[in-house]
Amino acid sequence: MIPFKNKIINSLLITASLFQPGISLAQPKAERPNIIFVLVDDLRWDAMGFTGQYPFLKTPNIDRLRAEGIHFQNAYCTHSLCAPSRATILTGMFPQTNGVSTNQEGREYNPDKTPSFAQILQENKYKTGFIGKWHMAESNSPRKGFDYWCSFSGQGNYNGNDLNINGKIVRNEGYVTDELNKYALEFIAGNVDKPFCLYLSHKAVHQPFTPPERDSELYANDLVPEPAGWSDNMENKPAWQRVEANMEQRLRIRDKDLNQNHPLKTRKFGPWPAKTGKGEQKNYLRCISAVDDGLGEIYNLLRKKGILDNTVIVFAGDNGFFHGEHGKGDKRLAYNESMRIPLVMRYPKAAKAGQSVTEMVLNADIAPTFLDFAGIKIPEQMQGKSVIPLLKGQNEGWRKSFLFTYWPDLIYFIPRITAIRTEKYLYSATPDLKDMDELYDEQKDPAELNNLAQNPEFSAIRDKLKKELEQLKKETGYRDEVPRPDPEPVLNVKKGKLLSLDFNDELFNGPAEKGMILNRVKRIAENANVCGSFPDGASAVIANKPDFDPSLGTFTVDCIVKPDSPDGVIASAGSQKDGWAIFVENGIPGFVVSHGGHLQFVDGVAKITGKWSHLVAVIENYNNVIRLFADGKLLGQRQMLSPVQPISIKAGDIVLGQDAGDQIDPKVISKSKFVGLIKHFSIYRGKKTEAEFIKQSFPTTE
């Protein structure tokens, strides 16, 4: 592992002047190889016919690629999620360096500061094309570094997509794998007279596993082998690994409910469903067939055009996928099924047919390898390494370990993870939890069933790996919280005070002039202060304005309140689809935001019933963080799973005293109406205003 430059660690923003690729060719320019990179979504390292893991699985073209090329038997991703892995593949940098550490926050690497291999190849006269799933920042707009662009938004659909083709939206109703292959063939056919780089990024085999009609009955009578990890009862795993949560609980993200609603259980597993596999596993495998068909068409076109042997073909997956091992689905975790990826390469000018590489290679190695093949100097900031020396049997100085990471994303009970993988061991820890670590002997226990972390006989090994893990974190510029890649955008919206209502205001006698409708709210005097009195069922409705959009910049809601009852919504706007609410529950203040059906809470700990309290709720959209303050003190904060969205015009009115009407949390919070006094209610936008506001000393009403 090459130590990372301190000045780059400090900034994580590398100026364009640091990478001046220049062409340093080891061969004449005309002989530079073409590069075709085929990426499959969520494809396991063993889900290829030649591995033998699934005896019935037929992938003749992938198998041919392997037979004529190289199989990297120990290939890994450094972070097992789509966007982080894709950013690492493109930039050759770890997530903490390129800034793409999660899927849900709309992050994307900054092409001006952490350039992709495509940008560098393009600057060195390669014709570059991207076709398929991008998945960063959700947009399908063309990105820097690609002469040809064809992509859909977000995850896309298996059937029917709006494709952005070089800036023009084209509706395509076909099966996505086949359609992307067609565009790939067109790009290749149009660029045979120049060195080109094609990045073909499939939606397959991502959920929902949907094969084309022609493959819907493949393997109907075959049995799916039971994986060794299926029988893991999780007894010697960390407590958080044994949390069970249904979909409703996953949509309601609240720390105080964790122990109450998610009892820790020893896993109970039934017989392996051999006829179907776990979680529509056969459809997962069937989806590979169309990918393989397309690879065969690409192979045949290259041969027909006479450029097959002058083309580097790389076939890979972005991350692994669980099929019931350890009771898991999806990926994310530091286990083999999640971390390992398929990686096959064909280029007869550099490697012998049928060759195998056993050294540990990473998705971060793909970008520098492509540049090395093209004869281009590898930029210093790339943290991966070219694998070309391994093809020549030169492994001196090659990595003996690597850092695997995970930052919380979507599934809230999966904590931050840091892990070290060596040739023999895997050690995994959760820095934010006081929980059991994990240690596995990968040579004796590749299914990772026997956790050795608490075994006294392995204490010396565990301590050594912990120390090496910390060293890897330093070398790679690891951060507990990864800064976003881009500066906060300058928004053309009103900043500062957007709304200020004070029931002590003499002008308040004309509420209609302030765009507010009162329902049973009365002005009363308390200790020389005039307050709004809210009996049960009273409300004040403030008409929606574009200024009240909570999705822009830093959005701050504050109020000075005195609850008389333990439960009730103080202020709210929106619905369970998109909205927010400040409330008290059992006398304790809380703040909730909703988006896309997800509810995310920040709760206080001390009761405020019967006394005045100044509550401030903050939505910091750029960093996707919500915070709740009471009387100038931070009660808590939460990293949101995805950015807050604008509230619809119909649901955008702000309501004081109860739920906005469209039921932000219909089962719990929305049921209760606020009973008590409200002295002041304001909305602000902007970080500076927020900071100044919280520091102010508000006059007591006692």
Q: What is the CATH number of domain 496-695?
A: 2.60.120.200
* Mean pLDDT on 486-508: 81
Residue 441 has which token pair?
A: 């002997």
pLDDT at 699: 43
Give the dihedral sign, CA 37/40/42/43.
Answer: negative
Amino acid letter, residue 498: L
Amino acid letter, residue 372: D
pLDDT at 116: 98
Percent of the chain, pLDDT > 90?
75
Give the model confidence (pLDDT) of 611-639 as tens digits. Answer: 999 999 999 999 889 999 999 899 999 88
Residue 175 has which token pair?
A: 């099966």
483 pLDDT more than 80? yes
689 pLDDT more than 90? no
14 pLDDT more than 60? no
Domain boundary assignment for the chain = 35-233+275-398, 496-695
Q: Pick 256 or 328 by higher pLDDT.
A: 328
Q: Pick 22 or 328 by higher pLDDT.
A: 328
Give the model confidence (pLDDT) of 23-59 as tens digits. Answer: 333 344 448 999 999 999 999 999 999 999 999 999 9
Q: Are 126 and 400 in contact (CB under 8 A)?
A: no
Tell me which of 3.40.720.10, 3.30.465.10, 1.20.1250.10, 3.30.70.590 is the CATH number of domain 35-233+275-398: 3.40.720.10
* Mean pLDDT on 188-198: 97
pLDDT at 16: 36
Give the dihedral sign, CA 362/366/367/369.
Answer: positive
Q: Are 295 and 62 in contact (CB under 8 A)?
A: yes
Query: In the chain, what is the straight-line distance between the N-terminal and C-terminal CA atoms, in Å?
Result: 62
17 pLDDT more than 80? no
Q: What is the mean pLDDT of the chain?
A: 90
Q: Are 131 and 150 in contact (CB under 8 A)?
A: yes
Distance CA 662, CA 388 (A): 59
